[in-house]
A and B are shown apart, each in its own frame.
Chain A
Amino acid sequence: MILPLTIGVLVTAGVYLLTRRSMVRAVFGIGLLSHAANLLILTAGVTSFREEPIAGRVDPALAADPLPQAFVLTAIVITLAVMVLMLTMAVIGHDDDLRRAPEVGETPDS
């Protein structure tokens, strides 16, 4: 029960943060959501502790399902890249957290 509950809490918190105006908060929201997604992938395999899935060393009946782990690994890498990109956007566009458009010298609607 702990995993579903954790996923639920993470999604709730992620969605709440996403509704905030500030980019940094939204980035954290996305981070929490992708943690939830990763945990969801893990629940798709068997969640209790299993032997490491290495062919020839472990009885396949005792080994963990390697596929969800590979999925999570890939997803984590992608999330990391996206987080870096979004945090960069949050930094370089810091002024547009405000309701007022930043003074950049260009007309707002050309």
Chain B
Amino acid sequence: MSPAALLPLLVAVPLLAAGVTVVVRVAAVQRALLVGVPAATAVAGLALLRAHAATPVLADAVGAFEPGIAIPFVSDTLTAVMLVVTGATTAVCAWFLCLTGEDRYRFVPPLALMLTGGVNGALLTGDLFNLFVFVEVMLLPSYALIAVTGSWRRLGIGRMFVLVNLVTSTFLLMGAALVYGAAGTVNLAALAGAAADDPQVGLAVSVVLLALLVKGGIVPVHGWLPRAYPATSAGIMALFAGLHTKVGLYAVYRIVAVAYGGQIPWAGLFGAAVVLTILVGALGTNAERRMRGGIAYQMVSGVGHILVGVALFTPAALAAGVFYLVHHIVTVGALVLAVGAVEHTYGTGRLDRLSGLMRRERWASAIVGLGLFSLVGLPPTSGLWGKVGLVLASAAAPSAWGVVFIVAMMIASVISLLALQRWWVAAFGGPPLQTYRPDDPEHGRGVAVPLPDDVRIPGRLLAPATVLIAVSVVMFAGAGVLFPVAQDAAGGLLDVGPYVEAVLGR
């Protein structure tokens, strides 16, 4: 049996584990599966990465139907990289959920595992309709996760998140229908180059792209992201931050590469939206009054940076974009988890209610400081190479957009630097903190009471964030090892021949 036949297991195992955790309500079993299954996904991703050194693309036609009719599960270097990163981040976030006790809320472990299954499916599938199905599999548990782990306010936010994502999913479905009507297939490999050759197919695929970009959080359709994410709990936000928007962006990379042969439609409009996304995200950080609100806007800015790779579509730009994608997942995860530990201990994430944390919380300050360095693009973090890669690729790109992107990224970096300094000074600088808001058993967040001297963030709460920020620092030190992998991933996007051949068998 070829290793490709094992690909559906990446979807089947998390979904089965989700079923098991519904029935078996023993905390130890649930926690083992909640952390273990995503970790196993990451390990499987590493194994795939090794396998791709020999065979660049592995494809499995589920149910052994004829190639072209069967639902294909495809993995290449980019997929494997995404599986490793999303799997590892999910495992770390699940660990954080166990530490804060949020995994004891009803059905959180099965929901998180279903989310993992949906993400793996969306990454692996090579079929547009199947992509819609897996995006739904991914979003349904998310709707519930927001509502389950939350307060009444979160319910309202969950509702907005549901409606936005559902309308977008309907769009995605309509796009898939139009593609089927225009091209007679929704198999991505069979669509190779079709969108570039046939304007009818091109228009249909662009509807799918539009839906994915809304899910990615591109300006001007980004508004749901900074409203929804900070209102969930930190652990859930970290989980979503690493998965949802990033899966959408991954699909954009893949579809533009295969269906359009790298020529994104309406390049002018898309370029303008990317520039706006980079700038608006950086600017929006200024206006936020909560710690995680600022990070959410930085996520929007990051979406713009990641899409620079698609907009330019040169080998260097794609590799830099993939590297930035990985860097961004890791960095934002670390920051959100560190901030979550602060919120969990001090009972508030509002910048005006926090101050002087730097003196109290050395370790948390170090993590958050490194995370902010990484967002802005300073050493010793992965952010430096992420931005350097994008700027160099933009400078070398033949199109005039390269210069525009460089200018936008530079301006955004300066704005982000200023905004994040204000963010840092408000929460971590200033006079010592006088009051805090310990959890109230009846109402959740309680009232402000004088802060005793011995209240500190427990070390174990900071451990998940430490792991992620360490990954970011390792990515800085080991960029020489990791960039070739990103270039491999970019190579798979530039030459889709092996992808098509593996799926269609010709």
Contact = CB atoms under 8 A, between A and B. Distances in A.
A85 B178 contact: no
A44 B180 contact: yes
Contacts of A107: 445
A34 B167 CA distance: 9
B294 interface: no
Main secondary structure of the interface of B (DSSP, over half): helix
Interface in B134-170: 136, 140, 143-144, 147, 151-153, 155-156, 158-159, 162-163, 166-167, 170
B444 interface: yes
Contact of B159 (A33, A93, A101, A110): A93
Given A89-B158, A106-B445, A41 B177 contact: yes
A109 B444 CA distance: 12
B149 to A, nearest CB: 14
Contact of B167 (A30, A43, A92): A30
B166 A71 contact: no
B443 A96 contact: no
Contacts of B136: 78, 82
A105 to B, nearest CB: 5
A102 to B, nearest CB: 6
B437 A71 contact: no
Contact of B350 (A23, A33, A68, A109): A109
Contacts of B386: none
Contacts of A106: 151-153, 443-445
Contacts of A67: 180
Interface in A67-99: 67-68, 71, 74-75, 78, 81-82, 85-86, 89, 92-93, 96
Interface residues of B, number: 35
A41 to B, nearest CB: 4
A96 B177 contact: no
A91 to B, nearest CB: 11
B153 A93 contact: no
Given A34-B170, A82-B140, A110 B348 contact: yes
B176 interface: yes
Interface string B327-351: 0000000000000000000011010
B445 A37 contact: no
A66 to B, nearest CB: 10
Contacts of B16: none
Interface in A50-70: 67-68
B453 interface: no
Interface string A1-45: 000000000000000001000010010001001101100110111
Contacts of B454: none
Contacts of A43: 177, 181
A25 to B, nearest CB: 11
A65 to B, nearest CB: 9
B176 A71 contact: yes
Contact of A37 (B151, B162, B170, B180): B170
B445 A85 contact: no
B129 interface: yes
Top 3 A-B pairs ranked by shortest CB distance? A44-B181, A110-B445, A41-B177
Given A41-B180, A105-B443, A110-B347, 18 more contacts: A18-B167, A30-B163, A34-B173, A37-B173, A44-B177, A44-B180, A71-B177, A81-B140, A85-B140, A85-B143, A85-B162, A86-B166, A93-B152, A93-B156, A93-B159, A101-B153, A106-B443, A106-B444
25 contacts: A23-B159, A26-B163, A30-B166, A34-B173, A37-B173, A37-B174, A40-B177, A44-B181, A68-B180, A71-B129, A71-B180, A74-B133, A75-B132, A75-B173, A86-B166, A89-B143, A89-B147, A89-B158, A89-B162, A93-B155, A93-B159, A105-B442, A106-B443, A108-B153, A109-B350
Interface of B: 129, 132-133, 136, 140, 143-144, 147, 151-153, 155-156, 158-159, 162-163, 166-167, 170, 173-174, 176-178, 180-181, 347-348, 350, 437, 442-445
